[in-house]
Structure 1
Amino acid sequence: MTREPAPAAAPARGSVGEVFLAFLRLGLTSFGGPTAHLGYFRDELVTRRRWLDDSRYGELVALAQFLPGPASSQVGFALGLLRAGPLGAVVAWLAFTLPSAMLLVGFAYAAAALDSPVGDGIVTGLKIVAVAIVAQAVWGMARTLAPDARRGSIAVVAVVVALLAAGSLGQVAAIALGALAGLLLCREPDAGDLGGAAVGGGGDALVVAVSRRAGAIALGTFAALLMILPMVAAAAGTRLADIADGFYRAGALVFGGGHVMLPLLQAEVVAAGWVSPEQFLAGYGAAQAVPGPLFTFAAYLGALSAPGAAGLLGAAVALVAVFLPGMLVMVGVLPFWSAVRTRPAARALLRGANAAVLGILAAALYDPVFVTAVVDAPSFALAAVCFVLLVAWRMPPWAVVLVGAVGGLLITLV
């Protein structure tokens, strides 16, 4: 009698407490941005704890690259889901996110105490560090998101659209045009492209305990909130409702990692007058010095955006709102992933969208980052030093933040 081949096994189940402690450790120690976070996850959860194998982990990472939202946090959320079910997913996100969120909310409240020459110097340095970090992100992402002439051209068009049509409307238009251009021009896979045929790692398909019905509900909720929250914000007329709407929309439109969130959030909070350009860039610089996901920058902005005693509530609303769309999309797509991952049209569309994302980030590097922070020769020199330390010397971002803060003090006080 011929035996039927065994189906791909799901990863072994664990406890919610185990998931919480594992991700709390990661949330306290994972410096260096989303790519570094994925390396920490692999070392801790694949190599050391053996929650799943490299093949399934690689496929999960590839899937997160396709979706809007913070890739490393989505991978962590999905790992918690695979290990301990829905509650495991929630505690994985909480444990990985809260350490950096609490530090940044504390920085938001301490920023008021920085109204002094010393404080001004530190803030100046943090703004200049933001120039170097965003430039590094553009430099690194260009090699993977726009490695050929077609995607490079899509990125340049996105720069033009984002600069000429300022605000979130221009950014959405740039992504939509990029996706359409990718569908028409970028169907040929690249050897190193996560959108190519190599996605999946060559092992068994990823098995997740999410039904297609639950996935459809998650995707429906994602779309419904995107349409309903603007109406709720308009009807309520409160700052918290506006924060929920703006940060949810930003989280829903981010492809390519936390750095890409910069222009989207800038359009929501700076253009609205909730946060000054100086506060925005200072917080972005501080976000580089803490562990965990860069999306926790939203907690800092939420604390500053909500008036008076509502700052903590504003931080909580902003934090949940900016992460929620990415998590809903991850839950929604997981049960359908194996059916769509090999379709050339889907990969081509996402290549174009990712190239447009690079263009949006490059536009943000110019305005507001560069034009706000680099105002004279010393500030340009400090930005160049920080960039070289990041790219050539490969210093960790938190160390470069310290260099920038000291440099900003020297520029201000000398």
Structure 2
Amino acid sequence: METKRPTFKTLIEILLVSTRLGFTSFGGPVAHLGYFHEEYIRRRKWMDEKSYADLVALCQFLPGPASSQVGIGIGVMRAGVLGGITSFIGFTLPSVIALILFAILLQRVDIGTAGWLHGLKIVAVAVVAHAILGMAQKLTPDLNRKAIALFALVGTLMWQTAYTQIGIILLAGLLGFLIFKEQKEKIETVLTFPISKRLATFCLVLFFGLLIVLPIINQATSISWLALFDSFYRSGSLVFGGGHVVLPLLEKEFVPTWLTEEEFLSGYGAAQAVPGPLFTFAAYIGAVINGWQGGLLATFAIFLPAFLLILGALPFWNELRSNPKIKGALMGVNAAVVGILIAAFYEPIWTSSILEAADFALAAILFSMLVYWKVPPWIVVVTGAIGGWFLSFI
């Protein structure tokens, strides 16, 4: 089915609703999906329940920020490609602006001695530990997937090169393909999307073309903005399992070449305090490197793969989700993601944040607030900053 021409009124409606969600959607990808369901499905009935569940399944299948891709997909279903772009801008822009402003603020303070910024690094310990527990329960429920996760953990820690994680993800996909190829799923609904297969094919070709060509051009030139674009684009292309997994990829790309470890982890802690997708952490990194222009470039580059993939995959989703071999490969990749995230939890998060017993005590308090008392993430972040400031006087 071809894309319908959207009306200006429809686009404004999408922009207003998605922007409100961008200002209020705290809590990470799972919480975002809950907000989307409440607003788009229950209140406005833009899609039915089964169509929404299938769209979520597709976005979990693809690399990239799942909640952002669901938001883009809903916008596409509502008003074609322009609807997807509008939905993305509304949901993402509030946190992008906040993190760019935070990065500019950091240029005016001594981050090496700021206790509250060390507190933000300890927040990252609690947040990533929480993410690991949730993902491990869901993505490694059996011994085979636990073994794949262990392989990914050991490989990532022992061979820390630029290509290790890519190789691990590919090998895990092959193992999943071989071990879980008999997985079957009952397909109850067949979805139709307002995107032509021709446009979808173009988006997929562009996605893979940029992934291959950008590193080659970057090696042949010395253009700084192209190097930034290439690094962020590759990071956005290779993330399976949610926003937290982008942390090790970005850390390998930018620390210490472009920014210090303290700057990196302080920004990651601050990213927990803002609503919207965690991928907007890229806006902070870009702004530290090259001001607000760098922040906008980084945001565009890291989200472009997600946009190309969701547009490219929508018309082919019915065929993909009925293929048990593809589903098995994805199970292996998701298990490897857990191991990669545990490796990132140790280095650089734990090793640079937990320096003494008092740091561990604060991390335990923040973790308990997040996991057991279900305190909103922004309160956890504020508590971590205050706690870090307090610890600087002890």
Calculate the TM-score normalised by the size of structure 2.
0.96
**CA contact 2:123–2:380 (8 Å) conserved in 1:** yes
The structure 1 residue matched to 2:195, chosen from 206, 210, 231, is 210
**Counterpart contact for 1:150–1:186, Cα < 8 Å:** no
Aligned partners of 2:89, 2:376: CA distance in 1, in Å?
24
Matching of residue 197 in structure 1 with residue 181 in structure 2 = no
Distance in 2 of aligned mates of 1:167 and 1:109: 31
Could you say if the C-alpha distance between residues 71 and 264 of structure 1 is closer, same or farther in structure 2, counting changes exceeding 3 Å? same
Check whether the contact 2:119–2:386 (CA below 8 A) recurs between aligned residues. yes
Q: Pick the aligned partner of 1:341 from 314, 321, 328.
A: 321
Mapped to 2, the partners of 1:52 and 1:105 lie a distance apart of 34
207-216 or 122-131: bigger deviation: 207-216
Counterpart of 1:322 (choices 277, 297, 302) is 302
**For 1:39 and 1:102, how far apart are their aligned partners in 2?**
24
Residues paired across the two proteins, number = 390
Q: What is the alpha-carbon distance in structure 1 between the residues aligned to residue 380 and residue 162 of structure 2?
A: 30
Match of 2:287 in 1: 303
Structure 1 residue runs of 5 or longer lacking an equivalent are 1-6, 190-195
Q: Which residue of the partner structure matches residue 282 of structure 1?
A: 266
> Does the alignment pair 1:32 with 2:27?
yes
Write the deviation string for residues 303-361 of structure 1: whole angstroms up to 9, x where unpaired: 1123xxxx222111110110010110111111111012111100000000010111110
Contact 2:111/2:262, CA 8 A, preserved across alignment: no
Deviation, 1:197, is 1.5
**Residue 220 (structure 2) pairs with residue 220 (structure 1):** no
Partner of 2:89: 94
SS, match of residue 95 in structure 2: helix
- The residue number in structure 2 matching 1:125 is 119
In structure 2, the gaps of 5 or more residues are none
CA distance in 2, matches of 1:167, 1:102: 32
Residue 188 of structure 1: how far off its partner (Å): 5.2
Counterpart code for 1:64: C
Partner amino acid, structure 2, of 1:401: V
Within the candidate set 132, 149, 170, 1:176 is matched to: 170
Other-structure match for 1:257: 242
The one-letter amino acid of 1:166's match is Q
Residue 354 of structure 1 corresponds to 334
How far is 1:232 from its partner? 2.4
1:113 pairs with 87, 108, 115, which one? 108
Distance 2:148 2:364 in 1: 27
**Structure 1 stretch 106-115 or stretch 239-248: which is displaced more?**
106-115
Match of 1:45 in 2: 40
The 2-side partners of 1:302 and 1:235 are apart by: 22
Alpha carbons 2:10, 2:79 under 8 Å: kept:
yes
Deviation at 1:142, TM superposition (A): 0.2
CA distance in 1, matches of 2:156, 2:180: 21
Letter in 2 for 1:233: N
- The alpha-carbon deviation at position 116 of structure 1 amounts to 7.2
* Structure 1 counterpart of 2:348: 368
* RMSD (CA atoms): 1.7
2:151 equivalent in structure 1:
157
2:225 to 230, 240, 249: 240
Q: Among residues 67, 71, 76, which one is paired with 2:66 in the alignment?
A: 71
1:135-154 paired onto structure 2 within 5 Å: 135-154=129-148
- Aligned letter for 1:238? I
Cα deviations across residues 265-302 of structure 1 (Å, max 9, x unaligned)?
A: 0011104x211111111100100000000000000001
Give every structure 1 segment of 4 or more consecutive aligned residues whose post-TM-superposition deviation is greater than 3 Å. none
One-letter amino acid of the counterpart of residue 73, structure 1 = S
Q: How far is 1:173 from its partner?
A: 1.3
What TM-score do the two structures reach when normalised by structure 1? Answer: 0.91
